[in-house]
Amino acid sequence: MRISEFQKKIEDIYIDKDGARGVQGTFGWFVEEVGELSRAIRRGSREQMEEEFSDVLAWLVSLATLCGVDIEKAAGKYADGCPKCGKTPCACAEPKGETID
């Protein structure tokens, strides 16, 4: 399934609910799902991680729809490699002191 097809499918399923909730409410649900994904990555099974990745993706594309963003077009930013250095894999230097544990 193409990203645009997925976005349309999520729109077909949830646009009424997400539209009524609005951008801010939908963003709140998206952030909650990212938190659940974080927990699944730290201590979940592969099945839990897959479920949370799926939920995060669904909320992200729903939010994009509400904001009028074509998520497939937005993803095109990375079509030619790293947007900063243009390389695949990225050849940008890592910022010093910035790590996520």
The mean of the pLDDT values for the chain is 95
Please state the pTM of the whole predicted model.
0.88
Tell me what pLDDT residue 66 has.
Answer: 98
Output the furthest CA–CA distance in the chain (Å, rounded).
45
Pick the CATH number of 3-78 from 2.10.10.90, 1.10.287.1080, 1.10.1060.10, 3.90.1300.10: 1.10.287.1080
- Report the pLDDT value the prediction gives residue 96, as an integer from 0 to 100: 79
Q: What's the pLDDT tens digit per position in 40-80?
A: 999 999 999 999 999 999 999 999 999 999 999 999 999 99
Coil/strand/helix, residue 93: coil
User: Percent of the chain having pLDDT more than 90?
Assistant: 92
Region label for 81, one of left (φ > 0), alpha (ψ between -120 and 50) or beta (otherwise): left
Tokens for 56, please give them: 């995060």
Domain ranges (residues) in the chain: 3-78
